[in-house]
């Protein structure tokens, strides 16, 4: 099971929407109890069709590992969007020897689905539960049902640490890829044309 704060969840979802209809992604890091504490958004470096592919460089992977190490976190893995596809790993996704895969499906664009998988031997996958907690750590929302429930596994000290980490993460966001207003307009128009 993974736990993510509302703040980080929103950050990822904003990135997903702003890059739509292109794939985008980044790296998630956290603690051994499955709490996602670091989000490092990346530019899509795919050389092919970025509507269908998310690519990152060896340098991005290295920066992700350095980011994790700097904050004493575990490198969980890569998240990426499927602007038109379901929240399930493609064959290509499973070829990267990742322990975990995080996929955001924008099939239903304004009702995105965020899914996490453990990758097992033989490219089998096991879907992991993800919970969103609010930034005060008071309530937990089950991502599947959308229903809030009480958090009993995040102490206030842990949340304080989390807030410090989030502040650090905001600095890392300086590298965050954004389409220029012109490109964003064209991207929106082309997606409208495709769907029309």
Q: Please state the closest distance from residue 105 (CB atom) to Zn ion, in A.
A: 10
Give the separation between CA 81 and CA 51, rounded to whole angstroms.
Answer: 10
Nearer to Zn ion, 6 or 17 (CB): 17
Torsion angle defined by CA atoms of residues 49, 16, 173 and 185, in that order, rounded to the nearest 10 degrees: 70
Residue closer to Zn ion, measured from CB, 51 or 161: 51
Nearer Cβ to Zn ion (117/176):
117
Whether the upstream peptide bond of residue 175 has omega within 30° of 0, thus cis, is no
Q: Which stretch binds Zn ion (CB under 5 A): 12-20, 34-42, 87-95, 132-140?
A: 87-95
In the range 88-117, which residues lie near Zn ion by CB under 5 A?
A: 90, 93
Return contacts of 83-89, CB within 8 angstroms, 24+ apart: 83/20, 83/21, 83/22, 83/23, 83/51, 84/21, 84/51, 86/113, 87/113, 87/114, 87/115, 88/115, 88/125, 89/117, 89/119, 89/125
The nearest distance, CB 84 to Zn ion, in angstroms, is: 11
Contact 112, 85 (CB under 8 A): no
Which CB sits closer to Zn ion, 60 or 93? Answer: 93
- Output the smallest distance, CB 57 to Zn ion, in A: 17
Q: Which of 28, 4, 15 lies closest to 78, judged by CA?
A: 28
Q: How far is the CB of 48 from Zn ion (least distance, A)?
A: 13
Stretch that binds Zn ion, among 5-13, 83-91, 131-139, 170-178 (CB under 5 A): 83-91
Q: Taking CB positions, which residue lies at the least distance from Zn ion?
A: 93
Choice between 56 and 133, CB closer to Zn ion: 56
Q: Whose structure tokens read 């907690």?
A: 133
| CB of residue 49 to Zn ion, shortest distance in Å | 13
Binding residues vs Zn ion (CB under 5 A): 90, 93
């Amino acid at each position: 099971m993974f736990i993510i704060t509302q703040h980080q969840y929103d950050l990822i979802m904003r990135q997903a929407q702003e890059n739509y209809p292109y794939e985008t992604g980044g790296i998630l890091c956290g603690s051994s109890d499955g709490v996602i504490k670091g989000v490092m958004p990346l530019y899509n470096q795919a050389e092919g069709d970025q509507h269908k592919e998310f690519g990152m460089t060896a340098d991005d992977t290295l920066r992700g590992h350095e980011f994790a190490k700097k904050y004493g976190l575990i490198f969980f893995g890569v998240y990426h969007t499927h602007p038109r596809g379901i929240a399930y790993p493609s064959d290509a996704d499973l070829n990267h020897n990742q322990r975990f895969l995080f996929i955001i499906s924008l099939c239903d664009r304004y009702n995105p689905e965020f899914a996490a998988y453990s990758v097992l031997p033989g490219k089998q996958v096991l879907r992991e539960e993800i919970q969103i907690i609010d930034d005060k750590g008071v309530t937990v929302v089950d991502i599947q049902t959308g229903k809030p429930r009480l958090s009993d596994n995040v102490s206030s000290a842990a949340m304080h640490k989390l807030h410090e980490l989030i502040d650090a993460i905001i600095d890392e966001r300086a590298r965050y890829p954004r389409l220029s207003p012109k490109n964003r307009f064209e991207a929106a128009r082309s997606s409208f044309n495709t769907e029309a």
